[in-house]
Chains A and B, each alone.
Chain A
């Protein structure tokens, strides 16, 4: 069965500095990987997805993520943080065998002025 681990429950960065949110996954089969963002009291929005095409995936709002099979990682990055990026971010995995979509526990991103 697949699983996903988000290594940090909270990350704080200063505005204008790079963002790194870490995600490791476990999957017996070829996985699909996603990052979602949830702003306070809002629903979830898809940031980007990897489905076995290019390993570097670009998403909305300047975010991107790189699929590294050797490291079983799918870390989310952004070159320069903006105050509006403050939110909770979820890494998600699904695979061919099991249609169930599994969420990580989330990482809360804080942006310091």
Chain B
């Protein structure tokens, strides 16, 4: 059973481009969480999804950011028209339920130049 897979590991985008971050949860996990970690800061919750549903997106900026977790395929975090302030590490986690531990991917490090 492979762990949570995130790709790409590193992503460089110019200002104004789109960034697409992918997360494949562990087998059997239907809960996916996205977190952002800015330099020298802790993990900030962005969005919580179950298959085909956004459960809680209270941590996600209202503009330019969107997330999905389709019935088939990975969860996608999409950032449109990236700005320098979007540069961060983005971590995805999956769990069987909210009561069990979440397993984390290695993260995607986004750099906006």
Q: What residues of chain A have their CB less than 8 Å away from a CB belonging to chain B? A: 32, 34, 36, 42-46, 49, 51, 88, 90, 92, 94-96, 98-106
Kindly list chain A residues whose C-beta atoms are within 8 Å of the C-beta of B107. Answer: 43
Tally A-B pairs: CB < 8 A: 62
Please report the C-alpha to C-alpha distance between residue A42 and residue B89 in the assembled complex, in whole angstroms. 10
Instruction: With both chains docked as a complex, state the minimum distance between the C-beta of A103 and any C-beta of chain B, in angstroms.
Output: 5
CB-CB under 8 A for A43 and B42, given A99-B31, A99-B97, A100-B48:
no
Which residues of B come within 8 Å of A, CB atoms?
31, 33, 35, 41-45, 48, 55-56, 91, 93, 95, 97-107
Tell me the minimal C-beta distance from A35 to chain B in angstroms: 10
A43-B104, A43-B106 known; A100-B56 Cβ under 8 A: yes
Q: Please state if A104 and B42 are interface contacts (CB–CB under 8 Å).
A: yes
In the bound complex, CA of A102 to CA of B56 (Å): 12
B93: chain A residues at CB < 8 Å are: 44, 101
Say which residue of B41, B56, B101 sits within 8 Å of A49 (CB atoms).
B101
Cα distance A36–B99 when bound, in Å? 15
* A12 to B97 CA separation, bound complex (whole angstroms): 35
Cβ B98 vs Cβ A98 within 8 A? yes
Least CB distance from B43 to A in Å reads 5
**Does the CB pair A103–B105 fall under 8 Å?**
no
Please name 15 further chain A to chain B contacts, defined as beta carbons within 8 Å, in addition to the given A105-B41, A105-B42, A106-B43, sorted by A numbering: A32-B99, A32-B100, A43-B104, A44-B91, A45-B104, A46-B103, A51-B100, A90-B42, A92-B102, A95-B98, A96-B98, A100-B45, A101-B48, A103-B42, A106-B42
Whether B98 contacts A102 by the Cβ 8 Å rule is no
CB distance from A32 to the nearest CB of B (A): 5
Contact A90 B43 (CB under 8 A): yes
Give complex CA distance A44, B104 in Å.
6
**CB <8 Å contact, B43 and A103:** yes
* Cβ of B78 to closest chain A Cβ, rounded Å: 21
Distance A67 CA – B98 CA, assembled complex (angstroms): 19
Distance in angstroms from B14 CB to nearest chain A CB is: 24
Knowing A43-B105, A43-B106, A43-B107 are in contact, say whether A103-B45 is a contact too (CB < 8 A). Answer: yes
